[in-house]
Amino acid sequence: MAQRLHLVFGGELVDPSKTVFENVDEIDIVGIFPDYASAYDAWKDAAQRTVDNAHMRYFIAHLHRLRDEGAEASSTEELES
């Protein structure tokens, strides 16, 4: 079975309705996790710690999808810059 790695990261956004970071040098890398469940728990913990800041957002990136070049990308991976 293929390993399904997930990256949890976040930071302060310029505008809470968009996904543009205020300062990419200050992105918080929470960690890389071996499965979605543990990544979700880490994401939830980080998000709850920063709940008072409406501009802070944390994300889960599916790293295993980057390694499988034959897999079709989801619509969220095709967002315009």
Please choose, from the candidates 39, 36, 65, 67, the residue with its C-alpha nearest in 3D space to the C-alpha of residue 75. 65
Res 65: pLDDT: 77
pTM of the model: 0.76
Res 81: pLDDT: 43
Give pLDDT tens digits along the chain (81 positions).
Answer: 567 899 999 999 999 999 999 999 999 999 999 999 999 999 999 999 999 999 999 999 998 777 666 666 565 555 444
Res 74: pLDDT: 60
In the block, tokens 């992105």 appear at: 27
